[in-house]
């Protein structure tokens, strides 16, 4: 969508004037959350309308002062004098000319009332604007929270991607060495179809492993890799089957001068010594 064309279409001005349909109103509010340019134009138009309303405020007519004073003068004449409580009320047919000090006082009262009315209107307008700004601030904070959440998720994905790249780079480096040997471990009668391949660099003692075929692990059990050194089994760590059989596993332990590699099915967490009755694959170097 062309944001400049959308702004110049006039829909934001109509929204500020309150002359849009409910669908258009929802559209403008949605667009203002997505595009900062639309938000800025909407705030600008609302400020313009508010300023125009203040500038177009109509002052009270000049003749209002005379009418107010005339009404006050008539009221004075029909109220009895407090010093003569026994006299009858007299209604004057012709209003007296009010004294100057009282006229100034009454006009000051009228002006004060108009001032209070003006302050009331200003307060209502200001309160409405403050409420609108607070609503927009709350919406902005929600958007920022969502952005922060997406940022954390992105950082996590980037970290996992970077870690996977580092593992792949390391494995490729080991596989590319001339000193690295590939050792097949075919299955035993416990798992005739099993096949696991070990990549061992005898010079650096680093070991990689790729599972070609192994049976699913029963609950509470785990596969364990062993290296046979001088006729004794050496623990090389436990592992689980990965979803992708193309994955090359990095063995956490190193070994030198191994004569064979083997895999047994042990209790979860591994065993200090191999259970030969659960031997599933073995291969000589």
pLDDT for 156: 63
pLDDT for 207: 95
Closest to 125 (Cα-Cα) out of 177, 50, 188:
50
pLDDT for 12: 87
pLDDT for 79: 52
pLDDT for 68: 64
Q: Tokens 């258009």 correspond to what residue? A: 24
Task: Report the b/e string of 204-241 with b at 16+ CB within 10 A.
Answer: eebbbbbbeebeeeeeeebbbbbbbeeeebebbbbbee
pLDDT for 144: 75
**In contact, 239 and 232? CB cutoff 8 Å:** no
**In contact, 285 and 261? CB cutoff 8 Å:** yes
Q: Tokens 């030969």 correspond to what residue? A: 276
pLDDT for 211: 92
Q: Tokens 């083997």 correspond to what residue? A: 262
Cα 186 → chain centroid: 52
Domain ranges of the chain: 3-81+89-153, 180-284
Closest to 214 (Cα-Cα) out of 202, 206, 222:
222
pLDDT in tens, the chain (285 residues): 678 888 888 888 888 888 889 888 888 888 888 888 889 988 988 888 878 777 665 566 666 666 667 766 665 555 555 455 444 444 444 455 555 544 444 666 667 777 777 777 777 777 877 888 888 888 888 887 777 777 676 666 655 566 778 888 888 899 899 999 999 999 999 999 999 999 999 899 999 999 999 999 989 999 999 999 999 999 999 998 865 556 888 998 999 999 999 999 999 999 999 999 999 999 999
Predicted TM-score (pTM) of this structure = 0.45
pLDDT for 62: 63
């Amino acid at each position: 969508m062309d944001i400049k064309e959308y702004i110049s279409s006039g829909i934001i001005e109509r929204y500020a004037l309150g002359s849009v349909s409910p669908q258009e109103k929802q559209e403008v509010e949605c667009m203002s959350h997505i595009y900062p340019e639309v938000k800025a134009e909407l705030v600008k138009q609302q400020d313009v309308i508010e300023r125009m309303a203040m500038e177009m405020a109509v002052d009270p007519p000049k003749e209002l002062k005379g009418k107010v004073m005339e009404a006050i003068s008539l009221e004075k004449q029909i109220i009895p004098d407090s010093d003569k409580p026994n006299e009858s009320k007299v209604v004057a047919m012709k209003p007296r000319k009010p004294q100057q000090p009282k006229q100034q006082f009454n006009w000051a009262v009228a002006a004060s009332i108009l001032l209070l009315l003006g302050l009331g209107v200003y307060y209502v307008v200001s309160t409405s604007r403050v409420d609108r700004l607070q609503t927009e601030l709350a919406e902005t904070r929600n958007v920022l929270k969502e952005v922060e959440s997406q940022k954390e998720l992105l950082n996590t994905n980037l970290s996992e991607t970077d870690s996977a790249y580092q593992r792949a780079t390391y494995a490729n480096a080991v596989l590319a060495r001339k000193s690295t040997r590939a050792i097949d471990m075919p299955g035993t009668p416990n798992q005739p179809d099993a096949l696991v391949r070990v990549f061992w660099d005898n010079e650096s003692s680093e070991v990689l492993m790729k599972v070609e075929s192994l049976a699913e692990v029963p609950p509470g059990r785990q596969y364990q890799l062993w290296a046979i050194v001088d006729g004794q089994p050496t623990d090389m760590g436990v592992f689980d089957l990965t979803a992708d059989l193309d994955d090359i596993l990095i063995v956490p332990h190193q070994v030198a001068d191994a004569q064979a590699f083997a895999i047994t099915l042990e209790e979860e967490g591994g065993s200090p010594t191999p259970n030969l009755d659960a031997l599933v694959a073995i291969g000589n170097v």
